[in-house]
């Protein structure tokens, strides 16, 4: 896990949170222009994200159903870019026990949670190892763009 932008997600003895610096105290790098271009194309809002979370998932990785609700202003979308092996993405409703639907996300797919779906429960049930040649040893990279702190323009 790593990040970019003016803040990114960290996990340490203080818990999970957005922080302006990496665990070693250095600033996060800028969000790459190619990622900002995706946000601009699909985000449906004027303004830029301030946080870019980058996660690697191997074939054993799972992410249980959860909501993205730790941001300061939930009116901003969450834009997720899938790279590498396919992942079975599951999305439901606003309660954990709402019915869910699943779709295989392929390398290059982009998912946007916004509006009424912004707080939909979602997760990854499994990764299909070897379904993409993008990463030499397989696996999946997920890039998630969001506005974590106060809205910016």
The residue range of the domain holding 130 is: 2-146
Question: Contact, 11 vs 19, CB < 8 A?
Answer: no
Question: Contact, 82 vs 108, CB < 8 A?
Answer: yes
Q: What is the pLDDT of residue 78?
A: 96
Domain tally for the chain?
1
Whether residue 152 lies inside any domain: the answer is no
Whether residue 153 lies inside any domain: the answer is no
Q: What is the pLDDT of residue 151?
A: 58
Whether residue 151 lies inside any domain: the answer is no
Q: Tokens in use for 46?
A: 């004027």
Taking only Cα atoms into account, the Rg of the chain, rounded to an integer number of angstroms, comes to 15
Q: What is the pLDDT of residue 12?
A: 82
Question: Contact, 127 vs 85, CB < 8 A?
Answer: yes
Q: DSSP readout, 56-99?
A: EE-TT--EEEE----SS-TTS-EEEEEEESEEEEEE--SSTTS-
Q: For each of the chain's 153 residues, which pLDDT tens digit applies? A: 899 999 999 988 888 889 999 999 999 999 999 999 999 999 999 999 999 999 999 989 999 999 999 898 899 999 999 999 999 999 999 999 999 999 999 999 999 999 999 999 999 999 999 999 999 999 999 999 999 986 544
Whether residue 62 lies inside any domain: the answer is yes
- Global pTM? 0.92
Whether residue 54 lies inside any domain: the answer is yes
Q: What share of the chain is helix, strand, coil (3-state, %, to 5)?
A: 10, 40, 50
Whether residue 18 lies inside any domain: the answer is yes
Tell me the CATH number at 66.
Answer: 2.60.120.590
CB atoms within 10 A of CB 96: 12
Question: Contact, 8 vs 28, CB < 8 A?
Answer: yes
Residue 17 host element (H or E): strand 15-19
């Amino acid at each position: 896990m790593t990040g970019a932008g003016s803040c990114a997600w960290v996990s340490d003895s203080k818990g999970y949170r957005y922080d302006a610096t990496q665990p070693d105290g250095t600033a996060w790098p800028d969000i790459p222009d190619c990622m900002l271009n995706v946000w601009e194309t699909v985000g449906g809002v004027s303004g830029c994200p301030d946080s870019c979370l980058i996660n690697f998932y191997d074939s054993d990785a799972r992410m249980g159903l959860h909501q993205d609700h730790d941001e300061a202003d939930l009116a901003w979308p969450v834009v997720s870019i899938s790279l590498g092996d396919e992942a079975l993405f599951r999305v439901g409703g606003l309660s954990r026990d709402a019915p869910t639907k699943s779709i295989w996300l392929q390398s290059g797919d982009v998912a946007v949670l916004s509006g009424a779906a912004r707080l939909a429960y979602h997760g990854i049930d499994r990764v299909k190892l070897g379904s993409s040649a993008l990463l030499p040893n397989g696996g999946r990279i997920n890039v998630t763009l969001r506005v974590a702190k106060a809205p910016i323009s």
